[in-house]
C-alpha cells in the first residue's frame, strides 16, 4: 500500500484573532501542527508526509517541527483551501492520498487506519460523527423553513482518504460550493464511504478551542483518553 498524507497548514487563523499561523499555536508545550504530523508518521501505510504552507512560512514551520525525525516535503499553498489541497495532491506520489486539516491535532492511529482501509476499498472515505443536535433550515429572513432528519446527517472530519487520481480530478473541477474534499468527489457522482470518527478529533479554530485541546492533550499523556467513538456506517 502506498499512501501519501497531505497536511493543510496554510491557514491564517483569523478566527483566532491573530494573523499568526494557528498551526504554530502552543498546545501543552508543543506546536499544534506537530500532534497530527507525529501521529500520521506512526501509520505504517503512510509512505510520505507533505505539509502545505503559505509562501514564506516554510522555514518557520520547519523550525517548529525541529526534532521530528521523518522526512517531510513542503508544498506552497494557494489562495483557498481547495487550491492548497489541489497543490498538495499534485505533489503527492502515493496511489492513495489522505488530506488532513493540520488544525485537527487528535486524529489517532486507529481512526487514520480506518480511513486508509476504507479508501483503499472504495476509493473515497471520510470519518464522520452522527449528529446529536437538531438541525433546522434557515431562510434569508432568519425564519426556519424546515428540519433535517437527524438520522441521515453526519459531521465530517479529516483525514479524508481518496484514490489519488480521483481526488485530483475532483479538486481540479470542484464547484465553488464544495466545502470539503468529499463534496468535490461527490460532485463527480462518486460515492464516499463513511467510517467512525472520534469526538476528540476536534478542529482548533477559535481561542476557546485551545482550552479543550489542552485538556485532551493532558488526558492523552495521563492515559485517560478512552476511545468513545461509535461506528455510523
Q: What pLDDT does 15 receive?
A: 58
Domain of 108 in residue numbering reads as 3-222
pLDDT at 14 over 90: no
Q: With 0-12 CB in 10 A as exposed, 13-18 as middle and 19+ as buried, what is 29? A: exposed
Q: What pLDDT does 186 receive?
A: 97
Q: What pLDDT does 16 receive?
A: 60
What CATH code is carried by the domain that includes residue 146?
3.90.550.10
Q: Which of 65, 134, 67, 136 is nearest to 102 (CA)?
A: 65
Tell me the Ramachandran region of residue 230: left when phi exceeds 0, alpha when psi lies from -120 to 50, beta otherwise.
Answer: beta
Residue 232 lies in a domain: no
Q: How many domains does the chain have?
A: 1
Residue 162 lies in a domain: yes
Residue 122 lies in a domain: yes
Residue 193 lies in a domain: yes
Residues 6+ apart with CB under 8 A from 48: 4, 5, 71, 73, 92, 93, 94
Residue 227 lies in a domain: no
Amino acid at each position: 500500500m502506498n499512501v501519501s498524507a497531505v497536511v493543510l497548514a496554510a491557514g491564517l487563523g483569523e478566527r483566532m484573532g491573530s494573523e499568526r499561523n494557528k498551526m504554530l499555536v502552543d498546545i501543552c508545550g508543543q506546536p499544534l501542527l506537530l500532534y497530527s504530523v507525529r501521529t500520521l508518521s506512526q501509520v505504517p501505510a503512510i509512505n510520505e508526509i507533505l505539509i502545505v504552507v503559505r509562501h514564506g512560512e516554510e522555514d518557520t514551520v520547519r523550525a517548529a517541527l525541529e526534532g521530528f525525525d521523518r522526512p517531510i516535503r513542503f508544498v506552497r499553498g494557494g489562495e483557498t483551501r481547495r487550491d492548497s489541497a489541489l497543490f498538495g495532491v499534485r505533489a503527492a506520489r502515493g496511489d492513495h492520498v489522505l488530506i488532513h486539516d493540520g488544525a485537527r491535532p487528535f486524529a489517532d492511529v486507529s481512526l487514520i487506519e480506518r480511513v486508509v482501509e476504507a479508501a483503499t476499498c472504495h476509493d473515497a472515505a471520510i470519518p464522520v460523527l452522527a449528529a446529536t443536535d437538531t438541525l433546522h433550515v434557515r431562510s434569508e429572513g432568519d425564519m426556519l423553513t424546515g428540519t433535517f432528519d437527524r438520522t441521515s446527517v453526519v459531521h465530517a472530519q479529516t483525514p479524508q482518504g481518496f484514490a489519488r487520481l480521483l481526488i485530483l480530478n475532483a479538486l481540479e473541477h470542484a464547484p465553488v460550493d464544495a466545502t470539503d474534499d468529499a463534496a468535490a468527489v461527490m460532485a463527480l457522482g462518486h460515492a464516499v464511504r463513511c467510517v467512525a470518527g472520534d469526538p476528540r478529533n476536534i478542529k482548533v479554530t477559535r481561542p476557546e478551542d485551545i482550552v479543550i485541546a489542552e485538556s485532551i492533550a493532558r488526558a492523552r499523556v495521563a492515559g485517560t483518553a478512552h476511545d468513545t467513538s461509535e461506528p455510523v456506517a
